[in-house]
């Protein structure tokens, strides 16, 4: 019996799933597949909370499929090797995927497509994790935008024309799933461990008041959408639809996400290098002891230390505090933004390459549409503005009022002068 395969990746849901819906609409039985890609997970701890979240989400999806007499096929390994086995095991008609725009994922998908083509199996790709993908929002000369505001204006113009026409689900029936029950593997069988950190459920009720509370870290008015958008447990179309109805400032944050995605796709050198090459020779200090104090929340600057301790304990970090902590590392300590980016990539539950890279380069002043190098935020001023009563700080820094809280590791004025001179000396 010929079957189609839908390959889950960054789209871990059954509702409003573009490629899955198209696969089911074909009328040929659809087998749902997920691969724990060892090229990715071998670089992570066995108890990485993001892997735990994926495992638990897949378990929920599998339980839903069991109700229609189907199930998930879960595999672990190198996708290229596994797909060579799959095309020998099953009589495949086609493979359906939602696009992933990151460099490794794009390269992997091209290799898998080549393997499928050898057996005359077509791979169909669909847009799913974004409203507009890498080539849909372009300047009049068909080049990509590198400044956010004109990109946002064009994005909004196009969205307002199309958003009411979006279909959030395609009428398909459960009987189109492949009727085969695969054993759902245990964590032990997959070499995984349950994490103590948890991905929180998202809360869309905060969208309406987002503009009023987004800069106040002591108030828990965070949507916690980040990991859910990263792994596709929620439809970006539904979120954008609600945002444009309730809060345009929240929608702007979604647009920032897509802006950085298209920057990464169109300018892949940003993965390891500065968007602006004129900053390639900035003489970073890269002091390992200073980095250790920053990463463990021991800088002596309360708002910075609170943020880093929140990150280490929970895997979350308030957006305003992300800016403060990142700017402190690059500007006050003169440590290469790539060090901070790698640390956040390891710790953040909502880590997404494009946004992490784009925001770190923004903080360092080396990216597109970035804060100028001479803009050096004073952490103490930021604290007085956004956490004047130290409510957020006291939540994460238990010893804030005790003698053992460290003294500031550097004077702000000294740091500001030093970084400006360093940038000037290193610019081409």
Burial of 47 from C-beta contacts in 10 A (0-12 / 13-18 / 19+): middle
User: How many whole angstroms separate alpha carbon 149 and alpha carbon 254?
Assistant: 13
Q: What's the rounded Cα separation, in Å, for the pair 220 and 285? A: 36
The reply to whether 277-426 shares the fold of 1-128 is no
Bridge partners (DSSP) of residue 144 are: 138
* Residue 404, pLDDT score: 94
Rounded Cα distance, 87 and 209, in Å = 50
The residue whose two tokens read 């596709």 is: 232
Which fold, 130-166+201-266? Answer: 1.25.40
Residue-wise pLDDT for 99-157, tens only, equals 999 999 999 999 999 999 999 999 999 999 999 999 999 999 999 999 999 999 999 99
The mean pLDDT of the chain is 95
Instruction: Tell me which CATH code domain 277-426 carries.
Output: 1.10.579.10
- Band of residue 369 on the pLDDT scale cut at 50, 70, 90: confident
Q: Strand order in 122-126's β-sheet?
A: 72-77, 30-37, 3-8, 92-98, 122-126
Q: What's residue 119's pLDDT?
A: 95
% of the chain residues with pLDDT over 90 = 92
Q: Which residues pair with 138 in a beta bridge?
A: 144
pTM above 0.85, yes or no: yes
Per CATH, the number for 1-128 is 3.40.50.620
Would you list the domain boundaries of the chain?
1-128, 130-166+201-266, 277-426
Token pair for residue 417? Answer: 């002068």
The pLDDT score that the predictor gives to residue 1 is 86
Query: Cα 84 to the chain's mean position, in Å?
Result: 30
Q: How far apart are CA 336 and CA 423, in angstroms?
A: 12
User: Phi, psi at residue 418, to the nearest 5°?
Assistant: -65, -45
Find the Cα–Cα–Cα–Cα dihedral 87, 89, 90, 96, rounded to 10°: -40
Torsion 15-19-23-29 (CA) sign = negative
Alpha carbon 380 to chain centroid, angstroms:
29
Residues 73-86 as b/e (b if ≥16 CB within 10 A, e otherwise) read bbbbeebeebbbeb
């Amino acid at each position: 019996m010929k079957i189609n395969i839908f390959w889950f990746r960054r789209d871990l849901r059954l509702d409003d799933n573009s490629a899955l819906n198209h696969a089911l609409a074909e009328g040929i039985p659809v087998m749902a597949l997920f691969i724990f890609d060892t090229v990715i997970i071998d670089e992570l701890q066995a108890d990485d909370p993001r892997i735990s979240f994926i495992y638990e989400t897949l378990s929920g999806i599998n339980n839903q499929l069991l109700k229609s007499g189907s199930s998930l096929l879960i595999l672990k390994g190198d996708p290229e090797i596994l797909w060579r086995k799959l095309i020998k095991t099953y009589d495949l008609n086609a493979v359906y995927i939602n696009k992933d725009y990151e460099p490794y994922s794009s390269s992997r998908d091209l290799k898998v497509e080549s393997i499928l083509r050898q057996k005359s199996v077509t791979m169909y790709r669909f847009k799913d994790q974004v409203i507009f993908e890498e080539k849909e929002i372009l300047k009049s000369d068909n080049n990509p935008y590198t400044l956010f505001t004109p990109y946002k204006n064009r994005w909004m113009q196009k969205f307002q024309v199309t958003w009411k026409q979006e279909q959030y689900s395609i009428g398909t029936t459960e009987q189109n799933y492949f009727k085969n029950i695969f054993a759902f593997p245990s964590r032990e069988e997959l070499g995984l461990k349950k994490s103590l950190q948890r991905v929180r459920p998202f809360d869309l009720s905060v969208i309406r008041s987002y503009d009023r509370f987004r800069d106040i870290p002591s108030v828990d008015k965070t949507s916690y959408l980040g990991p859910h958008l990263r792994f596709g447990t929620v439809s970006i179309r539904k979120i954008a639809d609600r945002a444009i109805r309730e809060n345009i400032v929240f929608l702007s944050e979604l647009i920032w996400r897509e802006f950085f995605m298209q920057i990464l796709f169109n300018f892949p050198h940003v993965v390891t290098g500065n968007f602006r090459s004129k900053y390639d020779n900035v003489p970073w200090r890269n002091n390992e002891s200073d980095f250790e104090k920053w990463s463990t929340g021991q800088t002596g600057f309360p708002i910075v230390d609170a943020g880093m301790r929140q990150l280490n304990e929970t895997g979350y970090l308030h957006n305003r505090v992300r800016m403060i902590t990142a700017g402190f590392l690059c500007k006050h300590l003169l440590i290469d933004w790539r060090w901070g980016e790698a640390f956040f990539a390891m710790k953040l539950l909502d880590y997404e390459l494009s946004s992490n890279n784009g925001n770190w380069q923004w903080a360092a002043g080396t990216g597109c549409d970035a804060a100028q190098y001479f803009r050096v935020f004073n952490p103490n001023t930021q604290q007085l503005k956004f956490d004047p009563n130290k409510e957020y700080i006291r939540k994460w820094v238990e010893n804030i009022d005790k003698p053992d809280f460290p003294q500031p590791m550097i004077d702000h004025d000294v740091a500001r002068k030093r970084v400006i001179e360093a940038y000037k000396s290193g610019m081409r």
